[in-house]
Amino acid sequence: MWPAQFTERLRRWNDLRRLCQSDELSGSLERINQWWMNTPWTAYYLHWDDLDRWPNPWQLLSDNIYCDLARSLGIVYTLLMIERPDVVDIAITETDRGNLVQVNGGKYILNWSPEHVLNIQLTEFTVKKSLDSSRLIHLLG
């Protein structure tokens, strides 16, 4: 169940990051994906055109409103903050089927299935936009 209180969301997000720093990569990615897929969903919160006004991770958790782009953003923030050397080349990608997170050059795809991290080629999707995570690092403070 998703925590109703902001302080509890922060505590659980911290616990998630700690667990994912030392777990094997695929398990960490699945744990992060599942955690963010448990958020309450709304059809619209963030938009690509408002990139300069996207929330930092603490504001995202405080607002507690999650469309698929907000979930993708939360996944990317989590991946950036665990600072794993085996997690590189992270991107949020808008496709014809929604917003996804690509990790390690698209080897792993998150924010598609609540149960699993995909390990497929993005050729099954039509890519509309992609944003490298380096453009989001400044939001971590």
Is residue 38 a part of any domain in this protein?
Answer: yes
pTM of the model: 0.94
Is residue 98 a part of any domain in this protein?
Answer: yes
Is residue 135 a part of any domain in this protein?
Answer: yes
pLDDT tens per residue across span 17-31:
999 998 999 999 999
Strands 127-132 and 91-95: antiparallel
Q: How far apart are CA 115 and CA 112, in angstroms?
A: 9
Q: How far apart are CA 68 and CA 45, in angstroms?
A: 9
Reading the chain (141 residues) residue by residue, the pLDDT tens digits are 899 999 999 999 999 999 999 899 999 999 999 999 999 999 889 999 999 999 999 999 999 999 999 999 999 999 999 989 999 999 999 999 899 999 998 899 999 877 768 776 666 778 899 999 988 888 887
Whole domain around residue 70: which residue ranges?
6-140
Q: Residue 76 maps to which CATH number?
A: 3.10.620.30
Is residue 22 a part of any domain in this protein?
Answer: yes
Is residue 81 a part of any domain in this protein?
Answer: yes
Question: Using alpha carbons only, how large is the chain's radius of gyration in Å?
Answer: 14
pLDDT tens per residue across span 115-139:
768 776 666 778 899 999 988 888 8
Compute CA distances 33 → 19, 71, 77, 90, 129, whole Å. Answer: 13, 9, 12, 14, 21
Is residue 11 a part of any domain in this protein?
Answer: yes
Is residue 136 a part of any domain in this protein?
Answer: yes
- Burial letters 99-130, b for 16+ CB under 10 A, else e: bbbbbeebbbbbbbeeeebbeeeeeebeeeee
Is residue 1 a part of any domain in this protein?
Answer: no
Domain count, the chain: 1
